Structure 1
Amino acid sequence: MITVHLRYEINANKLADFEEYGRRWIHLVNRLGGEHHGYFLPSEGDSDEAFALFTFPSFADYEKYRSAAAADPECIEAVQFATQTDCIRRYERRFLSPMFE
């Protein structure tokens, strides 16, 4: 199992646009074989930092998702939306192996 942790630096003035972007990707990750654990938006503290977590059964499954997403019209539209609204300044992606009790 592999969990993807995304840290976003967002445009705090475009939070509603980032929320829309997140809603789209929750649906898309789930549709393309992952399990999305949600977006975590600013509440208190830094107003320009957000996070997302989603899991795939394996890194190979994640790679299949990446290939499928690159050609998927809804995924392409979601990326274009973020670009057009300028709601994301930058992001970092980390791969984690979850540990459970």
Structure 2
Amino acid sequence: MTITCCIEYRIDPFQRAAFADYARNWLTIIPACGGDLLGYWLPHEGTNDIALALISFESLAAYEAYRARLRTDPAGAANFRLAQDQRFIVSERRTFLEPVT
């Protein structure tokens, strides 16, 4: 069974470029730590402060192992610090999805 973690970010719309840099940093970090990154999306029309990320895993246990590796990964820690220092993420929510088809 595959699960997909949908991360909904509320971002500072005036720091859109900073969030884009943050998202691009994950392109190599997430796969190295065990996630299957489907992508990051910035708002285009409508709401200007919601961005999304989709990352798939074999199971919830695989997600938990990924999170543990991510916490100890130097590049991952640096990217988390970047977000904290620049404060372009206001909040985030995670929803776990399973495929229907």
TM-score range, shorter chain: over 0.9
CA-atom RMSD, angstroms? 0.9
Q: How many equivalent pairs are there?
A: 100
State TM-score, norm by structure 2.
0.94
State TM-score, norm by structure 1.
0.94
Segments of 4+ moved more than 3 angstroms = none
CA distance in 2, matches of 1:68, 1:81: 18
1:41 aligned partner: 42
CA distance in 2, matches of 1:44, 1:54: 23
Amino acid at match of 1:70: R
CA distance in 1, matches of 2:44, 2:54: 17
Matches within 5 A, 1:20-35: 20-35=21-36
CA distance in 2, matches of 1:42, 1:14: 12
CA distance in 2, matches of 1:28, 1:97: 23
Unmatched segments (≥5 aa) in structure 2: none
Work out the percentage of aligned pairs sharing the same amino acid.
Answer: 36
Deviations 1:25-48 (A, max 9, x none): 232111111111111111010111
